[in-house]
Amino acid sequence: MSYIFLLVGFGLLIKGADFFVTGSSNIASLLRVPPILIGLTIVAFGTSSPEATVSILAALEGSGGISLGNVIGSNIFNITLVIGLTAYLNPLKVESETIRKEIPFALLASVVLLVLISDTMLQTLSLNLLTRADGFIFLLFFTVFMYYIFEVVRTSRDKLIAEKTIVNEKWGKNILLTLLGLGAIIFGGDLVVKNSTEIAYTFGMSETLVGLTIVAIGTSLPELVTSITAAIKKQSEIALGNIIGSNIFNILFVLGTSSVISPLAVSENIHFDVMLMIILTIVLLVFSRTKYRVGKFEGVFLALAYVLYLAYIILRN
């Protein structure tokens, strides 16, 4: 039955992403805000809801390895395979504002995570731990990010209203499409994660490895399907905003909430993965500065980077 539910989950993800991208991009027009801001907020938080659910539940059950591995593995998957495949299908246009502020903010969140999990190195403690205090630091950064987003939304909306753009869309239809799509994404993601994890444990995989691979890939499928769908529909701003917003949300809100609920023990191996996440974010920033887009060549490079990383962590564990 696990394999059947797995297939049902994939079907819900694909159809849900189609509805979700269509509805949310039309809502951006109705709200008179740039699509990338919808990508950074509504789409990013919606597609990150499986990560939030899995990590918070794992924290409640005392499974720190799955909670941390899920977030870090998901972020690496997003930067490499999701952006890589999306850019290969349709080169991603990068707004200068995204380069200057959003991607560097994702980089800052990753560096803060590295600092907070390095207790044995920085404070000569015997154990690396994400404490409740660390969780509140993450949530404080998240509040700052949300304040910045709402200020940008307000400014952008004022400009678009001044231009008096005519929008031929209806609120009810697009809200319904967005909610139906989000519901299908969340439920489909939950089916994929639960059943793929169950299958993985039968093959004797460790908790950390399951978190970094099966759970991370499963909970990132909404981002993958949504971003690819957005790219196919020529909504590259939603595709990129979805990934950057999801990575920020995963670290600051998901890990912040998880560690406030229950302090998370940190595996020594995870430091390599966090440092790789930082390096990959810097690589994305560099790629984004070349002609203000992520093209096919950069997409192939990022996708291959994930294949190599996956092979490494499987051999490591």
Distances in whole angstroms, Cα of residue 220 to Cα of each of 34, 109, 156, 203, 253: 24, 19, 29, 22, 16
Q: Tell me how crowded residue 14 is: count the other CB atoms within 10 A of its CB.
A: 17
> Domain map of the chain by residue range?
2-316
Q: How many CB atoms lie within 10 A of CB 135?
A: 23
Cα 317 to Cα 203, 212, 219, 277: the distances in Å are: 13, 11, 21, 18
pTM exceeds cut of 0.75: yes
Confidence of residue 36 (pLDDT cuts 50, 70, 90): low
Q: What is the mean pLDDT of residues 163-169?
A: 55
Q: What is the mean pLDDT of residues 113-126?
A: 78
pLDDT tens sequence across 52-104: 777 777 777 776 677 788 889 889 999 999 999 988 988 888 876 767 788 99
In whole angstroms, what is the distance from residue 312 CA to residue 233 CA? 34
Q: In the structure, what pLDDT confidence band is assigned to residue 45 with cuts at 50, 70 and 90?
A: confident
Rounded mean pLDDT, 102-113: 93
Tell me how far CA of residue 141 lies from CA of 61, 76, 126, 209, 263, in angstroms.
Answer: 26, 21, 27, 28, 18
* Helix 236-249 × helix 64-77 angle, to 10°: 160
User: What whole-number distance in Å separates Cα of residue 64 and Cα of residue 212?
Assistant: 12
Quickly name the fold that domain 2-316 has. A middle domain of Talin 1 (1.20.1420)
Tokens encoding 262:
């229950």
